[in-house]
Structure 1
């Protein structure tokens, strides 16, 4: 019932590649049979409408078929990956998980039935309506992860509109709203899901080359890693027509450099959140950070203090472990500060991350973009530190490129002076970091999103 339109597409494209996993292609005919296999397995384990099922997996033929089978059985799906293994017990408790399905590295499975009986009112509402649900956890970098509950039937609606069939890399994780969106978009248009064994630049770009991928949905952090690793020099990327990026602000310097290297690849900024799904977007150009957002099922408005708010047909029902974030009239307050130019917006960064220096606002992404123009800087994180006189001052943590060498780079005092001179030439005085800290640790999470100091 819920996936009938998928199954019709699979039937019409039985002989086409649906999934590439570990160098082997699996057809839509195979996916049809595997989805039925999972229906039988779930029935044998007593998984019925409203059962809360955690799936611990990455993309694989079995995990894709399982996801579809769980939707069809109107279960409440809680996807997780190894990137959040340290929070697994927390997630099981918060989501009131009743069954755990683990898809192993060899694509075999293990099923554990827990003693929990889910009773949260949001889960009860989905059960009462016999509607499939989806629980997505936030990254939780500042504390406990929030668990957003979705009506899966509403999330599926937009995929009933046919679009382009693309060969797409599944870069964004199995438990990420962007990853779910990429997977469902690709399958609903009879495209090909190309999985990767890890998310290193060489691994991903080798898959693009070998399997002629057309779409790479990723993050600004990963695009920067492609550039600094120079992995793009080792592979044929001529099949790649579109690279989408989202989840965090894009440093303009990174965007411009990638666009200069690959003028024939369309760069498209996307916008979405775990709570509201992925909006349709249109970048002004491949070299521009300005974009239009919205599309059917979404409305947007800008508050008086320039924060983006969204009203979404497919927005979450609420959190399992936090109060509802919706305004009284049903809008989701994103917390993203934006600049407006006609129909276009530019995301400046999270309102909570803006640094107030003596009444002047500093946007970390703007300073980071300047710092990353220096070819010996791999990553730069900009944040505020309390100051008795100014309220806050700007600090920057810097990771140098691994190949950095030479007397200037060996002398940290001279290097800091050179970086400060560069900043003063490209920034206002209040934006220039007062202190530079060198740190060899990477500055991104397993989701390839910048981790900021608290």
Structure 2
């Protein structure tokens, strides 16, 4: 899985990372990496040493912040964390949306060895309290809007509001330059928790350029790009986008909340070269009306990189017809990091493919006995790369086979491309027949009246399990339960027909865009 130094150099040169710079800046950049490593603290310092005047973040509230300014405020955040009594090795929770203050806390904690647990902004008060207890956090910093959510935390935790933190940070004296801690602070990212309580998975600190090269060899990001990160930075994809941006000395554009029109406006106003998002965000952007001249404005994008969930059948083609061949979809998980990347060429060939593994990544499709299946056959997806996790913070883990971790998905490989067929626990047996809900979803979403659909399996006293379809409709369209069933019956086998159909205004989703299956199942009586 190792990537050769020759390949590393070639890719870095191609992406503009080896462009000439003043010698002293290049030396300081390398010294920072050698001293601090490839975690958040090191990546920020290498960027600030190489390109101090380069804008690091354009925050919708604070405006532009250069890399030298971001490093200075990050070091003040480190000092403030220590002044408030947080110690190396302790876990601190952060409940925040996408803004530069959250980045200051992330990088500041990393630099003094404090482990940061990134809380999902969609957690209820009870869930937050449960996760805080499970992750053994000693404190929480949260955006002011989450006052009510944070009010249910147990006594004894140090709870700090964003506005109070910002006031204290302004009053903090800039410290002397820091030295790396004995152990750098880890970042703990919660799994999506779509079917249960979120689990904590610690992010590995990259040991070199390999993980960066794996991504930018396939996704054509360039040094000093301007990048809108719409994906939440508390979760895997948004966090990865932030790491990549630091490594590339890019300018990050941040908005606290995603709004399709405001995101489109930001892409145009800042002339963004790249956007990191989750699939449902692009779906909402495609629903925007044309401008008064009857045309859609196309931002100057080279890359739209997404991850987090599957696209509806055919959507990727429609998006690229509108925005150009700029779409790159990464299939991965919190535990496995990346698994496959689908390029525009892959998606034009088959809009439902997950693509192929990037450099340094091994993917195998295994049967129940851990043997590789033949091409075209469905099996369990296993993956290996430099950033595969080492287990949950609770001590539990996923299935491993020969160093490869299970993604929890079923899939197959055909003609050199990989495909995800569904979660390994999504497949149901109805009347003795195996059914993957995604097969029915892919059919129903093609219906002109259907905006979104999710199909789940639920217990059934007669058939063992049955399918239930939850559907949202496009404005002005109508559809009946019988019409849905007839459509499936006409195009799929009998056992694929959902036995009940529910029409909703919106599908319930978490903050990372994934449909909350447990909420859908709770509607079944």
Q: TM-score, normalised by structure 1?
A: 0.84
Structure 2 gaps of 5+ residues are: 1-35, 146-160, 167-180, 369-378
Please say if 1:53 is aligned against 2:92.
Answer: yes
Take 1:208 and 1:138, find their aligned partners in 2: how far apart are those partners?
Answer: 29
Match of 1:174 among 208, 233, 246: 233
Determine which of 422, 425, 441 is the counterpart of 1:352.
425
Q: Does 1:35 align with 2:74?
A: yes
Corresponding position: 1:145 with 2:198 = yes
The gaps in structure 1 that reach 5 residues or longer are 112-127
Query: 2:449 matched to 1:376?
Result: yes
Structural mapping, 1:38-437, within 5 Å: 38-86=77-125, 87-104=127-144, 108-110=163-165, 130-152=183-205, 154=207, 158-159=211-212, 164-165=222-223, 166-230=225-289, 236-262=297-323, 264-279=324-339, 281-283=341-343, 284-287=345-348, 288=350, 289-296=352-359, 298-304=361-367, 306-321=379-394, 323-327=396-400, 329-401=402-474, 403-404=475-476, 409=478, 415-437=480-502
* Closer, same or farther: CA 280–300 of 1 in aligned 2, 3 Å: closer
2:420 partner SS: strand
Distance 1:131 1:53, change over 3 A: same
Pick which of 194-203 and 38-47 moved more: 38-47
Q: C-alpha distance in 2, partners of 1:307/1:392?
A: 22
Relative to its length, the structure with more strand (as a share) is 1
Change (3 A) 1:395 1:42: closer
Distance 1:315 1:254, change over 3 A: same
**Deviation of 1:272 (Å):** 1.9
- Give 1:30 deviation, angstroms: 1.6
Distance 1:362 1:220, change over 3 A: farther
Shift of residue 240 of structure 1? 2.2
CA distance in 2 between counterparts of 1:236 and 1:107 reads 36
Return the alpha-carbon distance in structure 2 between the equivalents of residues 229 and 220 of structure 1: 15
Aligned residues: 430
After superposing the two structures, state which structure 1 stretch, 76-85 or 169-178, moved more.
76-85
The 2-side partners of 1:339 and 1:230 are apart by: 38
Question: Closer, same or farther in 2 for the Cα pair 1:242/1:151, shift >3 Å?
Answer: closer
Q: CA deviation at 1:10?
A: 2.0
TM-score by structure 2 length? 0.74
* RMSD between superposed Cα atoms in Å: 3.0
Distance 1:347 1:384, change over 3 A: same
